[in-house]
Structure 1
């Protein structure tokens, strides 16, 4: 990612922590939580790797096509899964944005590790508008509401807490906006 190293490290930490929590959510008793958590963990760790400051780590030239392939496969999976729920459309947009950023990085000057490039302004602007709207909507959804989960009288597990899942999605949305702004 292009920009001050401190910002890159903050994004790395936030995205890696989000990815780690999403891995914990994969142990949930609720099948829908597990299903969504896997894609979100991939996004969190992928965004953490892309946000690594260029002064610390310059990815080899083959890394960007690998990112594009991995997130292209995630986009296809999200497209297939979208048949059962609208949230998978968001995963499709997120994976598509990751493919777009990887392709932009691969095409940037100094191809061998171009952190920061110049994407297509219309595509970048559209993605920025989408993720800004997503962040605002996710922020509103964090407002406390009474939640009744079928827990059978036991405490709600960490992986089943909807407010934490929403906070993770909000964090990844903010990170996506920050990363798109650097293109």
Structure 2
């Protein structure tokens, strides 16, 4: 991805930390949490790898094609999972965006891929709008709410089962996706 080196390293750190936490979430007692955490870990680590500044490591063209193949496979698996849970549609958009960015970087690694010299390509703009909306929606869902304390309430969940932390991870990956799309 293109952009300032400091911002790229911050994006690498954010995505790698998110991917690491998602790996830890795979130890959850809740099966659905474990399944989604694996896909989110793949996204986090993939985004971290793609965000490494080109001045440090300039991946060869074939590496971008490997990224496209990996995330294409993840997208196909997500299509299957989306039949049971609508949340997987977001994962499908994310994996597809990673395929799009990988192919764009493979076709024009030294230039702004997909740009005809004027403005933002339509697909990049649509993905930017989607992920910006997702970031705003996720952030609003993290806003504190009034909690009613009822005796005999729900059992205390383990740290891997905390929905607000999982949502914060998804929010950070959404922010990372916006940053990566802006630099494409």
| TM norm structure 2 | 0.90
1:118 to 113, 127, 132: 113
Is 1:43 matched with 2:38?
A: no
Question: 1:22-67: CA deviations, max 9, x gaps?
Answer: 0000000011110110000000000000000111111122101100
CA distance in 2, matches of 1:57, 1:147: 51
Query: In structure 2, what is the equivalent of residue 139 of structure 1?
Result: 139
Is 1:159 matched with 2:154?
A: no
Question: 1:79-119: CA deviations, max 9, x gaps?
Answer: 110001111000000000000000000000xxxxx266223
CA distance in 2, matches of 1:115, 1:54: 9
How far did 1:17 drift?
A: 0.1
Aligned to 1:62, the other structure's residue is in SS state helix
Is 1:15 matched with 2:15?
A: yes
**Could you say which structure has the larger radius of gyration?**
2
CA distance in 2, matches of 1:116, 1:98: 18
Instruction: Check the 8 A contact 1:54/1:115 in 2, yes or no.
Output: no
Is 1:86 matched with 2:86?
A: yes
CA distance in 1, matches of 2:96, 2:7: 23
CA distance in 2, matches of 1:70, 1:26: 20
Mean Cα displacement is larger for which, 54-63 or 36-45? 54-63
CA distance in 1, matches of 2:38, 2:181: 23
Query: In structure 2, what is the equivalent of residue 54 of structure 1?
Result: 54
Q: How many residues align?
A: 175
Unaligned runs of 5+ in 1: 109-113
Instruction: Check the 8 A contact 1:107/1:117 in 2, yes or no.
Output: no
| Distance of aligned partners of 1:42 and 1:147 in 2 relative to their CA distance in 1, 3 Å threshold | farther
Question: 1:147-176: CA deviations, max 9, x gaps?
Answer: 99853xxx4211101110000000000000
CA distance in 1, matches of 2:12, 2:52: 6
| Distance of aligned partners of 1:138 and 1:115 in 2 relative to their CA distance in 1, 3 Å threshold | farther
Aligned to 2:175, the other structure's residue is in SS state helix
